[in-house]
Structure 1
Amino acid sequence: MSEISKMFDLTGKVALVTGGASGLGQNYTKALSDAGADIFIVSRSQKGWDETRDVVTGHGRKAEFMQIDITEDGAAKKVIDRCISVFGKLDILVNNAGVQIRNKILDYKDEDWLKVININLNALYFLSHEAAKVMVPNHSGKIINIGSMQSFRAGKFIFPYTASKHGVVGLTKAYADALAPDGIQVNAIAPGYIDTAMTKPLQEDVGRNTEILAHIPAGHWADPSELMGTVVFLASAASNYVVGATVPVDGGYLLR
Protein backbone atom coordinates (compact mmCIF):
# COMPACT_ATOMS: atom_id res chain seq x y z
CA MET A 1 0.00 0.00 0.00
CA SER A 2 1.36 3.43 -0.96
CA GLU A 3 1.89 6.19 1.59
CA ILE A 4 -1.08 8.11 0.19
CA SER A 5 -3.32 5.04 0.35
CA LYS A 6 -2.30 4.50 3.97
CA MET A 7 -3.35 8.04 4.83
CA PHE A 8 -6.93 7.31 3.76
CA ASP A 9 -7.05 3.76 5.13
CA LEU A 10 -9.43 3.28 8.09
CA THR A 11 -8.61 -0.37 8.77
CA GLY A 12 -8.82 -1.07 12.49
CA LYS A 13 -10.83 2.08 13.21
CA VAL A 14 -14.29 2.20 14.81
CA ALA A 15 -16.78 4.78 13.58
CA LEU A 16 -20.03 5.73 15.31
CA VAL A 17 -22.62 7.17 12.93
CA THR A 18 -25.91 8.57 14.23
CA GLY A 19 -28.73 8.03 11.78
CA GLY A 20 -26.31 5.83 9.87
CA ALA A 21 -28.79 3.33 8.45
CA SER A 22 -30.82 5.62 6.20
CA GLY A 23 -30.55 8.69 4.00
CA LEU A 24 -27.19 10.42 3.77
CA GLY A 25 -26.11 8.71 6.97
CA GLN A 26 -26.22 5.35 5.23
CA ASN A 27 -23.83 6.70 2.60
CA TYR A 28 -21.41 7.82 5.31
CA THR A 29 -21.64 4.31 6.76
CA LYS A 30 -20.97 2.76 3.35
CA ALA A 31 -17.98 5.01 2.73
CA LEU A 32 -16.36 4.50 6.13
CA SER A 33 -16.78 0.74 6.06
CA ASP A 34 -15.47 0.57 2.49
CA ALA A 35 -12.38 2.43 3.72
CA GLY A 36 -11.91 -0.22 6.44
CA ALA A 37 -13.77 0.94 9.55
CA ASP A 38 -16.10 -1.10 11.71
CA ILE A 39 -19.36 0.76 12.26
CA PHE A 40 -21.58 1.38 15.30
CA ILE A 41 -24.91 2.75 14.08
CA VAL A 42 -27.36 4.60 16.29
CA SER A 43 -30.92 5.29 15.16
CA ARG A 44 -34.37 5.87 16.58
CA SER A 45 -35.90 3.03 14.55
CA GLN A 46 -34.61 -0.12 12.89
CA LYS A 47 -35.31 1.22 9.40
CA GLY A 48 -32.54 0.23 7.00
CA TRP A 49 -30.69 -1.97 9.48
CA ASP A 50 -30.70 -5.16 7.40
CA GLU A 51 -29.62 -3.45 4.20
CA THR A 52 -26.92 -1.48 5.99
CA ARG A 53 -25.59 -4.55 7.79
CA ASP A 54 -25.29 -6.35 4.45
CA VAL A 55 -23.32 -3.45 2.98
CA VAL A 56 -20.91 -3.21 5.91
CA THR A 57 -20.31 -6.94 6.19
CA GLY A 58 -19.94 -7.06 2.41
CA HIS A 59 -16.96 -4.77 2.89
CA GLY A 60 -15.57 -7.28 5.36
CA ARG A 61 -16.27 -5.06 8.36
CA LYS A 62 -18.40 -5.41 11.49
CA ALA A 63 -21.71 -3.58 11.98
CA GLU A 64 -23.47 -3.13 15.32
CA PHE A 65 -26.69 -1.24 15.96
CA MET A 66 -28.36 0.55 18.86
CA GLN A 67 -31.95 1.74 18.84
CA ILE A 68 -32.36 4.85 21.00
CA ASP A 69 -33.73 8.38 20.93
CA ILE A 70 -30.55 10.43 21.21
CA THR A 71 -32.48 13.36 22.72
CA GLU A 72 -33.35 11.38 25.86
CA ASP A 73 -31.66 12.39 29.10
CA GLY A 74 -28.43 10.45 29.44
CA ALA A 75 -28.64 9.02 25.91
CA ALA A 76 -25.18 10.23 24.89
CA LYS A 77 -23.42 8.37 27.68
CA LYS A 78 -25.43 5.23 26.98
CA VAL A 79 -24.47 5.36 23.30
CA ILE A 80 -20.75 5.89 23.88
CA ASP A 81 -20.64 3.29 26.68
CA ARG A 82 -22.36 0.73 24.43
CA CYS A 83 -19.97 1.40 21.57
CA ILE A 84 -16.98 0.90 23.87
CA SER A 85 -18.58 -2.24 25.30
CA VAL A 86 -19.06 -3.73 21.82
CA PHE A 87 -15.87 -2.62 20.06
CA GLY A 88 -13.56 -1.63 22.90
CA LYS A 89 -12.79 1.75 21.34
CA LEU A 90 -14.11 4.77 19.45
CA ASP A 91 -12.03 6.52 16.81
CA ILE A 92 -14.57 8.44 14.71
CA LEU A 93 -17.87 10.10 15.59
CA VAL A 94 -20.17 11.26 12.80
CA ASN A 95 -22.97 13.44 14.19
CA ASN A 96 -25.36 12.94 11.29
CA ALA A 97 -28.84 12.51 12.80
CA GLY A 98 -31.11 15.47 12.21
CA VAL A 99 -34.60 16.67 11.46
CA GLN A 100 -36.25 19.57 9.63
CA ILE A 101 -39.77 20.93 10.23
CA ARG A 102 -41.23 23.63 7.97
CA ASN A 103 -43.88 26.22 8.81
CA LYS A 104 -44.69 29.90 8.43
CA ILE A 105 -43.23 32.17 11.08
CA LEU A 106 -46.48 33.04 12.88
CA ASP A 107 -47.62 29.42 12.82
CA TYR A 108 -44.38 27.89 14.08
CA LYS A 109 -44.93 25.75 17.16
CA ASP A 110 -42.75 25.93 20.25
CA GLU A 111 -42.62 22.15 20.47
CA ASP A 112 -41.28 21.93 16.90
CA TRP A 113 -38.55 24.44 17.72
CA LEU A 114 -37.49 22.32 20.71
CA LYS A 115 -37.63 19.05 18.75
CA VAL A 116 -35.31 20.33 16.02
CA ILE A 117 -32.86 22.02 18.39
CA ASN A 118 -32.71 18.96 20.64
CA ILE A 119 -31.87 16.59 17.79
CA ASN A 120 -29.73 18.79 15.56
CA LEU A 121 -27.73 20.69 18.18
CA ASN A 122 -28.15 19.47 21.74
CA ALA A 123 -27.67 15.78 20.93
CA LEU A 124 -24.62 16.65 18.84
CA TYR A 125 -23.13 18.58 21.75
CA PHE A 126 -23.71 15.83 24.31
CA LEU A 127 -22.44 13.04 22.04
CA SER A 128 -19.32 15.05 21.21
CA HIS A 129 -18.76 15.68 24.91
CA GLU A 130 -18.97 11.99 25.79
CA ALA A 131 -16.84 11.02 22.80
CA ALA A 132 -14.18 13.51 23.86
CA LYS A 133 -13.92 11.81 27.24
CA VAL A 134 -12.93 8.62 25.41
CA MET A 135 -10.71 10.23 22.77
CA VAL A 136 -8.67 12.61 24.94
CA PRO A 137 -6.88 9.87 26.95
CA ASN A 138 -5.97 8.18 23.64
CA HIS A 139 -4.69 11.48 22.19
CA SER A 140 -6.48 10.62 18.96
CA GLY A 141 -9.89 10.91 17.34
CA LYS A 142 -12.08 12.46 14.69
CA ILE A 143 -15.42 14.19 15.21
CA ILE A 144 -17.35 15.00 12.04
CA ASN A 145 -20.45 17.15 12.31
CA ILE A 146 -23.03 17.53 9.56
CA GLY A 147 -24.03 21.07 8.74
CA SER A 148 -26.06 22.33 5.80
CA MET A 149 -26.38 25.14 3.30
CA GLN A 150 -28.43 26.66 6.13
CA SER A 151 -25.23 26.83 8.14
CA PHE A 152 -24.50 29.85 5.92
CA ARG A 153 -27.86 31.02 4.62
CA ALA A 154 -31.29 31.93 5.98
CA GLY A 155 -34.37 29.74 5.89
CA LYS A 156 -37.61 31.62 6.40
CA PHE A 157 -39.70 28.49 6.94
CA ILE A 158 -37.17 26.40 8.88
CA PHE A 159 -36.13 28.66 11.76
CA PRO A 160 -34.81 26.08 14.24
CA TYR A 161 -33.09 24.13 11.47
CA THR A 162 -31.21 27.26 10.36
CA ALA A 163 -30.37 28.16 13.95
CA SER A 164 -29.20 24.64 14.72
CA LYS A 165 -27.05 24.35 11.60
CA HIS A 166 -25.41 27.71 12.28
CA GLY A 167 -24.83 26.36 15.78
CA VAL A 168 -23.22 23.21 14.38
CA VAL A 169 -20.56 25.34 12.70
CA GLY A 170 -19.96 27.27 15.91
CA LEU A 171 -19.66 24.12 18.01
CA THR A 172 -17.37 22.59 15.42
CA LYS A 173 -15.00 25.53 15.78
CA ALA A 174 -15.18 25.59 19.58
CA TYR A 175 -14.61 21.84 19.95
CA ALA A 176 -11.84 21.92 17.34
CA ASP A 177 -10.02 24.64 19.27
CA ALA A 178 -10.43 22.82 22.58
CA LEU A 179 -9.48 19.35 21.36
CA ALA A 180 -6.73 19.98 18.79
CA PRO A 181 -4.01 20.00 21.49
CA ASP A 182 -5.13 16.46 22.38
CA GLY A 183 -4.65 15.17 18.83
CA ILE A 184 -8.36 15.23 17.99
CA GLN A 185 -9.63 16.91 14.84
CA VAL A 186 -13.17 18.28 14.74
CA ASN A 187 -14.59 19.34 11.38
CA ALA A 188 -17.91 19.53 9.58
CA ILE A 189 -19.46 18.77 6.21
CA ALA A 190 -22.09 21.09 4.76
CA PRO A 191 -23.99 19.12 2.11
CA GLY A 192 -25.62 21.04 -0.69
CA TYR A 193 -28.70 19.93 -2.57
CA ILE A 194 -28.57 16.14 -2.62
CA ASP A 195 -30.77 13.76 -4.60
CA THR A 196 -32.53 11.81 -1.83
CA ALA A 197 -36.06 10.65 -1.09
CA MET A 198 -36.44 13.61 1.28
CA THR A 199 -35.70 16.13 -1.48
CA LYS A 200 -37.85 14.52 -4.19
CA PRO A 201 -40.83 16.88 -3.61
CA LEU A 202 -38.48 19.85 -4.02
CA GLN A 203 -37.00 18.41 -7.20
CA GLU A 204 -40.48 17.79 -8.59
CA ASP A 205 -41.49 21.41 -7.94
CA VAL A 206 -40.56 22.80 -11.36
CA GLY A 207 -40.22 26.41 -10.24
CA ARG A 208 -38.18 25.69 -7.14
CA ASN A 209 -36.02 23.11 -8.90
CA THR A 210 -35.19 25.59 -11.65
CA GLU A 211 -34.29 28.23 -9.07
CA ILE A 212 -32.02 25.82 -7.18
CA LEU A 213 -30.22 24.57 -10.28
CA ALA A 214 -29.57 28.16 -11.33
CA HIS A 215 -27.54 28.52 -8.12
CA ILE A 216 -25.41 25.41 -8.70
CA PRO A 217 -22.45 25.95 -11.03
CA ALA A 218 -22.01 22.17 -11.30
CA GLY A 219 -25.49 22.10 -12.82
CA HIS A 220 -27.03 19.13 -11.02
CA TRP A 221 -28.29 17.82 -7.71
CA ALA A 222 -25.59 15.72 -6.08
CA ASP A 223 -25.78 11.97 -5.93
CA PRO A 224 -25.35 10.93 -2.26
CA SER A 225 -22.16 9.10 -3.24
CA GLU A 226 -20.57 12.48 -3.96
CA LEU A 227 -20.31 13.04 -0.20
CA MET A 228 -18.48 9.78 0.47
CA GLY A 229 -14.97 10.97 -0.34
CA THR A 230 -15.28 13.96 1.98
CA VAL A 231 -16.34 11.92 5.00
CA VAL A 232 -13.49 9.44 4.47
CA PHE A 233 -11.01 12.31 4.15
CA LEU A 234 -12.17 13.93 7.40
CA ALA A 235 -12.16 10.56 9.19
CA SER A 236 -8.66 9.64 8.05
CA ALA A 237 -5.08 10.61 8.75
CA ALA A 238 -5.15 12.60 5.51
CA SER A 239 -6.96 15.39 7.40
CA ASN A 240 -4.80 15.44 10.53
CA TYR A 241 -3.93 19.12 9.98
CA VAL A 242 -7.48 20.16 9.11
CA VAL A 243 -8.95 21.70 12.26
CA GLY A 244 -12.31 23.43 12.71
CA ALA A 245 -13.21 23.52 9.02
CA THR A 246 -16.69 23.30 7.54
CA VAL A 247 -16.42 21.82 4.06
CA PRO A 248 -19.26 22.69 1.67
CA VAL A 249 -20.01 19.83 -0.73
CA ASP A 250 -22.45 21.82 -2.81
CA GLY A 251 -21.40 21.93 -6.45
CA GLY A 252 -20.58 25.61 -5.94
CA TYR A 253 -24.04 26.61 -4.65
CA LEU A 254 -22.60 29.10 -2.17
CA LEU A 255 -20.68 30.88 -4.91
CA ARG A 256 -23.91 32.36 -6.21
Structure 2
Amino acid sequence: MQTSFDLTGRVGLVTGGNGGIGLGFARGLARAGAAVMVAGRDAAKNAAAVAELKALGAEADAVVVDVTEEASINAMVATTVARFGRLDVLVNNAGINIRNRPEAYDLADWHKVIATNLTSAMLASKAAHPHLKAGGHGRVINNGSMLSIFGLPLHIAYASSKGGVVQLTKSLAVAWAADGITVNCILPGWIDTDLTRKARSDMPGLNDNVMARTPKGRWGSPADFEGIAAFLGSDASAFVTGVAIPVDGGFSVHG
Protein backbone atom coordinates (compact mmCIF):
# COMPACT_ATOMS: atom_id res chain seq x y z
CA MET A 1 0.00 0.00 0.00
CA GLN A 2 1.38 3.40 -0.99
CA THR A 3 1.93 5.75 1.96
CA SER A 4 1.55 9.51 1.87
CA PHE A 5 5.34 9.90 1.68
CA ASP A 6 5.77 7.34 -1.11
CA LEU A 7 6.85 8.74 -4.48
CA THR A 8 6.93 5.42 -6.33
CA GLY A 9 5.88 5.92 -9.94
CA ARG A 10 6.48 9.65 -9.84
CA VAL A 11 9.18 11.71 -11.53
CA GLY A 12 11.28 14.56 -10.15
CA LEU A 13 13.44 17.09 -11.99
CA VAL A 14 16.12 18.94 -10.01
CA THR A 15 18.02 21.87 -11.51
CA GLY A 16 21.52 22.14 -10.13
CA GLY A 17 20.94 18.60 -8.88
CA ASN A 18 24.48 17.36 -9.42
CA GLY A 19 25.94 18.62 -6.15
CA GLY A 20 25.41 20.39 -2.86
CA ILE A 21 21.86 21.07 -1.72
CA GLY A 22 20.52 20.07 -5.14
CA LEU A 23 21.93 16.58 -4.80
CA GLY A 24 20.42 16.44 -1.32
CA PHE A 25 17.02 17.21 -2.85
CA ALA A 26 17.59 14.57 -5.53
CA ARG A 27 18.58 11.93 -2.99
CA GLY A 28 15.48 12.68 -0.93
CA LEU A 29 13.19 12.19 -3.92
CA ALA A 30 15.06 9.04 -4.95
CA ARG A 31 14.91 7.49 -1.48
CA ALA A 32 11.13 8.10 -1.48
CA GLY A 33 10.83 6.10 -4.70
CA ALA A 34 10.80 8.73 -7.45
CA ALA A 35 12.66 8.56 -10.71
CA VAL A 36 14.95 11.59 -10.88
CA MET A 37 16.27 13.71 -13.71
CA VAL A 38 19.39 15.64 -12.72
CA ALA A 39 19.85 18.91 -14.63
CA GLY A 40 23.14 20.78 -14.54
CA ARG A 41 25.79 22.45 -16.67
CA ASP A 42 28.59 19.95 -16.01
CA ALA A 43 28.05 16.63 -17.77
CA ALA A 44 30.67 14.82 -15.68
CA LYS A 45 29.13 15.99 -12.40
CA ASN A 46 25.71 15.04 -13.74
CA ALA A 47 26.92 11.53 -14.49
CA ALA A 48 28.43 11.14 -11.01
CA ALA A 49 25.15 12.26 -9.42
CA VAL A 50 23.16 9.81 -11.55
CA ALA A 51 25.47 6.99 -10.51
CA GLU A 52 24.93 7.88 -6.85
CA LEU A 53 21.14 7.93 -7.26
CA LYS A 54 21.17 4.61 -9.10
CA ALA A 55 23.20 3.13 -6.26
CA LEU A 56 20.26 4.00 -4.01
CA GLY A 57 18.06 1.87 -6.27
CA ALA A 58 16.44 4.78 -8.09
CA GLU A 59 15.82 5.21 -11.79
CA ALA A 60 17.82 8.29 -12.77
CA ASP A 61 19.15 10.19 -15.75
CA ALA A 62 20.69 13.58 -16.48
CA VAL A 63 20.36 16.46 -18.90
CA VAL A 64 22.78 19.31 -19.56
CA VAL A 65 21.07 22.67 -19.19
CA ASP A 66 21.83 26.39 -19.20
CA VAL A 67 19.17 27.80 -16.92
CA THR A 68 19.80 31.33 -18.21
CA GLU A 69 18.42 30.32 -21.62
CA GLU A 70 14.69 29.76 -22.08
CA ALA A 71 15.17 27.34 -24.98
CA SER A 72 17.51 25.21 -22.88
CA ILE A 73 15.02 25.15 -20.00
CA ASN A 74 12.19 24.15 -22.32
CA ALA A 75 14.37 21.38 -23.76
CA MET A 76 15.23 20.19 -20.23
CA VAL A 77 11.56 19.74 -19.36
CA ALA A 78 10.77 18.11 -22.70
CA THR A 79 13.70 15.70 -22.31
CA THR A 80 12.51 14.73 -18.83
CA VAL A 81 8.99 13.97 -20.01
CA ALA A 82 10.28 12.08 -23.05
CA ARG A 83 12.59 9.98 -20.87
CA PHE A 84 10.22 9.15 -18.02
CA GLY A 85 6.76 9.75 -19.49
CA ARG A 86 5.66 12.36 -16.95
CA LEU A 87 6.78 15.07 -14.54
CA ASP A 88 5.45 15.37 -11.00
CA VAL A 89 8.00 17.31 -8.96
CA LEU A 90 10.08 20.26 -10.13
CA VAL A 91 12.87 21.47 -7.85
CA ASN A 92 14.21 24.90 -8.84
CA ASN A 93 17.57 24.75 -7.13
CA ALA A 94 20.14 26.16 -9.58
CA GLY A 95 21.83 29.26 -8.25
CA ILE A 96 24.98 31.38 -8.15
CA ASN A 97 26.33 34.22 -6.07
CA ILE A 98 28.64 37.06 -7.13
CA ARG A 99 29.72 39.13 -4.14
CA ASN A 100 30.57 42.84 -4.18
CA ARG A 101 29.68 46.08 -2.44
CA PRO A 102 26.46 47.66 -3.78
CA GLU A 103 28.22 50.85 -4.91
CA ALA A 104 30.67 48.77 -6.95
CA TYR A 105 28.28 46.14 -8.26
CA ASP A 106 28.59 45.44 -11.98
CA LEU A 107 25.32 45.45 -13.95
CA ALA A 108 26.31 42.37 -15.95
CA ASP A 109 26.88 40.47 -12.69
CA TRP A 110 23.49 41.64 -11.41
CA HIS A 111 21.73 40.34 -14.53
CA LYS A 112 23.62 37.03 -14.36
CA VAL A 113 22.61 36.36 -10.75
CA ILE A 114 18.97 37.38 -11.28
CA ALA A 115 18.74 35.28 -14.46
CA THR A 116 20.23 32.20 -12.82
CA ASN A 117 18.47 32.35 -9.47
CA LEU A 118 15.07 33.94 -10.17
CA THR A 119 14.21 34.07 -13.85
CA SER A 120 15.18 30.42 -14.33
CA ALA A 121 12.73 29.37 -11.60
CA MET A 122 9.92 31.22 -13.34
CA LEU A 123 10.78 29.79 -16.76
CA ALA A 124 11.17 26.21 -15.52
CA SER A 125 7.91 26.40 -13.60
CA LYS A 126 6.16 27.77 -16.68
CA ALA A 127 7.54 25.00 -18.87
CA ALA A 128 6.66 22.32 -16.31
CA HIS A 129 3.14 23.58 -15.60
CA PRO A 130 1.17 21.59 -18.21
CA HIS A 131 2.90 18.36 -17.21
CA LEU A 132 2.48 18.98 -13.47
CA LYS A 133 -1.20 19.72 -14.05
CA ALA A 134 -1.77 16.71 -16.29
CA GLY A 135 -0.21 14.29 -13.81
CA GLY A 136 -2.60 15.29 -11.05
CA HIS A 137 0.24 15.54 -8.51
CA GLY A 138 2.06 18.77 -9.25
CA ARG A 139 4.77 19.88 -6.85
CA VAL A 140 7.17 22.81 -7.25
CA ILE A 141 9.93 23.24 -4.66
CA ASN A 142 11.98 26.42 -4.91
CA ASN A 143 15.33 26.97 -3.21
CA GLY A 144 15.37 30.33 -1.46
CA SER A 145 17.78 31.57 1.19
CA MET A 146 18.08 33.12 4.62
CA LEU A 147 19.02 36.23 2.66
CA SER A 148 15.38 36.61 1.68
CA ILE A 149 14.99 37.55 5.37
CA PHE A 150 18.31 39.18 6.28
CA GLY A 151 20.70 41.49 4.47
CA LEU A 152 24.47 41.23 4.04
CA PRO A 153 26.64 43.96 2.51
CA LEU A 154 28.23 41.87 -0.26
CA HIS A 155 25.11 39.99 -1.42
CA ILE A 156 22.91 42.61 -3.07
CA ALA A 157 22.01 40.60 -6.18
CA TYR A 158 21.80 37.24 -4.43
CA ALA A 159 19.54 38.56 -1.66
CA SER A 160 17.33 40.34 -4.17
CA SER A 161 16.99 37.22 -6.30
CA LYS A 162 16.12 35.04 -3.33
CA GLY A 163 13.57 37.51 -2.02
CA GLY A 164 12.06 37.32 -5.48
CA VAL A 165 12.00 33.51 -5.30
CA VAL A 166 9.88 33.70 -2.13
CA GLN A 167 7.38 36.04 -3.78
CA LEU A 168 7.37 33.95 -6.96
CA THR A 169 6.52 30.95 -4.78
CA LYS A 170 3.53 32.70 -3.24
CA SER A 171 2.19 33.94 -6.58
CA LEU A 172 2.53 30.54 -8.27
CA ALA A 173 0.90 28.83 -5.30
CA VAL A 174 -2.17 31.04 -5.61
CA ALA A 175 -2.28 30.87 -9.41
CA TRP A 176 -1.94 27.08 -9.66
CA ALA A 177 -3.81 25.77 -6.62
CA ALA A 178 -6.86 25.06 -8.77
CA ASP A 179 -4.62 22.97 -11.04
CA GLY A 180 -3.73 20.66 -8.16
CA ILE A 181 -0.20 22.06 -7.94
CA THR A 182 1.48 23.06 -4.69
CA VAL A 183 4.39 25.49 -4.72
CA ASN A 184 6.67 25.88 -1.72
CA CYS A 185 10.06 27.33 -0.92
CA ILE A 186 12.97 26.18 1.22
CA LEU A 187 15.14 28.74 3.02
CA PRO A 188 18.48 27.06 3.66
CA GLY A 189 20.57 28.36 6.50
CA TRP A 190 24.34 28.10 6.44
CA ILE A 191 25.01 24.83 4.63
CA ASP A 192 28.43 23.27 4.05
CA THR A 193 28.74 23.39 0.24
CA ASP A 194 31.32 24.53 -2.29
CA LEU A 195 29.55 27.92 -2.45
CA THR A 196 29.74 28.55 1.30
CA ARG A 197 33.28 27.20 1.62
CA LYS A 198 34.36 30.00 -0.70
CA ALA A 199 32.34 32.47 1.37
CA ARG A 200 34.15 31.33 4.51
CA SER A 201 37.49 31.93 2.85
CA ASP A 202 36.39 35.38 1.61
CA MET A 203 34.67 36.50 4.83
CA PRO A 204 36.86 36.26 7.97
CA GLY A 205 34.85 35.41 11.05
CA LEU A 206 31.92 33.95 9.14
CA ASN A 207 32.38 30.43 10.51
CA ASP A 208 32.53 31.63 14.12
CA ASN A 209 29.47 33.85 13.66
CA VAL A 210 27.43 31.03 12.11
CA MET A 211 28.38 28.57 14.82
CA ALA A 212 27.56 31.06 17.56
CA ARG A 213 24.12 31.89 16.17
CA THR A 214 22.96 28.43 15.06
CA PRO A 215 21.26 26.68 18.01
CA LYS A 216 21.99 23.24 16.53
CA GLY A 217 25.67 24.09 16.86
CA ARG A 218 26.78 23.05 13.38
CA TRP A 219 26.64 23.93 9.72
CA GLY A 220 23.96 22.14 7.75
CA SER A 221 24.71 19.49 5.15
CA PRO A 222 23.03 18.52 1.86
CA ALA A 223 21.65 15.45 3.64
CA ASP A 224 19.49 17.78 5.74
CA PHE A 225 17.37 18.44 2.64
CA GLU A 226 16.45 14.86 1.86
CA GLY A 227 13.52 14.73 4.27
CA ILE A 228 12.01 18.07 3.31
CA ALA A 229 12.24 17.11 -0.38
CA ALA A 230 10.33 13.89 0.25
CA PHE A 231 7.73 15.73 2.33
CA LEU A 232 7.08 18.59 -0.10
CA GLY A 233 7.25 16.28 -3.11
CA SER A 234 4.72 13.80 -1.77
CA ASP A 235 1.04 13.57 -0.86
CA ALA A 236 2.00 14.24 2.76
CA SER A 237 2.17 17.97 1.91
CA ALA A 238 -1.02 18.11 -0.18
CA PHE A 239 -2.48 20.98 1.89
CA VAL A 240 0.80 22.91 2.24
CA THR A 241 1.38 25.60 -0.38
CA GLY A 242 2.85 29.07 -0.72
CA VAL A 243 5.11 28.82 2.31
CA ALA A 244 8.83 29.44 2.86
CA ILE A 245 10.27 26.87 5.26
CA PRO A 246 13.63 27.54 6.96
CA VAL A 247 16.01 24.60 7.08
CA ASP A 248 18.60 26.34 9.17
CA GLY A 249 19.19 24.66 12.52
CA GLY A 250 17.32 27.48 14.23
CA PHE A 251 19.49 30.30 12.84
CA SER A 252 16.53 32.49 11.83
CA VAL A 253 14.80 32.32 15.22
CA HIS A 254 17.88 32.90 17.39
CA GLY A 255 18.00 36.54 18.41
Same fold (TM > 0.5): yes
- Structure 1, gaps ≥5 residues long: none
Residue type of the alignment partner of 1:97: A
Match of 1:242? 240
Q: Contact 2:67 / 2:120 at 8 angstroms: preserved in 1?
A: yes
Q: CA deviation at 1:27?
A: 1.4
Q: CA deviation at 1:150?
A: 0.7
Whether 2:211 is the aligned partner of 1:213: answer yes
Match of 1:252 in 2: 250
Please report how far the alpha carbon of residue 15 of structure 1 lies from its aligned counterpart in structure 2 after TM superposition.
0.2
Percent identity for Structure 1 against Structure 2 = 39
For 2:123 and 2:70, locate their aligned partners in 1 and report how far apart those are by CA, in whole Å.
Answer: 10
1:32 equivalent in structure 2 = 29
Alignment RMSD: 1.6
Partner of residue 45 from structure 2, selected from 44, 48, 55: 48
Q: Distance in 2 between matches of 1:120 and 1:202?
A: 18
Asked if the contact 1:80/1:127 (under 8 Å) is kept, the reply is yes
Query: Structure 2 matches for 1:86-235, cutoff 5 A?
Result: 86-203=83-200, 207-235=205-233
Q: 1:63 to 1:23 in 2, by over 3 A?
A: same
For 1:127-159, what per-residue CA distance to the aligned partner results, in whole angstroms no more than 9, with x for missing partners?
001111222233321000000001111122111
Whether the 8 Å CA contact 1:187–1:245 is kept in 2: the answer is: yes
* Segment drifting more, 42-51 vs 27-36: 42-51
1:19-70 deviations in Å (ceiling 9; x for gaps)? 1111211111111111111111111111422321222212222211111212
Q: Partners in 1 of 2:46 and 2:155 — Cα distance?
A: 29
Q: How far apart are the structure 2 equivalents of 1:12 and 1:96?
A: 22
Distance between the aligned counterparts of 1:242 and 1:27, measured in 2?
Answer: 21
Q: State the secondary structure of the residue aligned to 2:160.
A: helix
- Using the TM superposition, give the Cα deviation of residue 203 of structure 1 relative to its aligned residue in structure 2, in angstroms: 4.6
Counterpart of 1:8 in 2: which secondary structure?
coil
8 Å CA contact 2:67–2:73 kept in 1: the answer is: yes
Calculate the TM-score normalised by the size of structure 1: 0.94
| Equivalent-residue separation in structure 1 for 2:44 and 2:151 (angstroms) | 31
Q: Quote the Cα distance in structure 2 between the aligned partners of 1:213 and 1:244.
A: 30
TM-score (norm 2): 0.94
Cα offset for 1:163? 0.6
